[in-house]
Amino acid sequence: MDLPDNFDAREAWPNCPTLKEVRDQGSCGSCWAFGAVEAISDRVCVHSNAKVNVEVSAEDLLSCCGMECGMGCNGGYPSGAWKFWTEKGLVSGGLYDSHIGCRPYSIPPCEHHVNGSRPACKGEEGETPKCVKQCETGYAPDYRKDKHFGSDSYSVPSSQDEIKAEIYKNGPVEGAFLVYEDFPTYKTGVYRHVTGEEIGGHAIKILGWGVEDGTPYWLCANSWNTDWGDNGFFKILRGEDHCGIESEIVAGVPK
DSSP 8-state class, residue 163: H
Tell me which H or E stretch contains 156: strand 150-156
What is the 3-state secondary structure of 9-24?
A: HHHHCCCCHHHHCCCE
Cα 120 from chain centroid (whole Å): 21
Sign of dihedral through CA atoms 144, 83, 13, 243?
positive
Active site residues: 31, 202, 222
3-state helix, strand, coil in the chain (%, to 5): 25, 25, 50
Three-state DSSP at 184 gives: coil
Concatenating the DSSP letter of every residue in 27-47 gives SSB-HHHHHHHHHHHHHHHHH
Three-state DSSP at 242 gives: helix
Cβ(245)–Cβ(177) under 8 Å?
yes
Cβ(252)–Cβ(150) under 8 Å?
yes
Beta pairing class for 233-237 and 190-191: parallel
| Amino acid letter, 17 | P
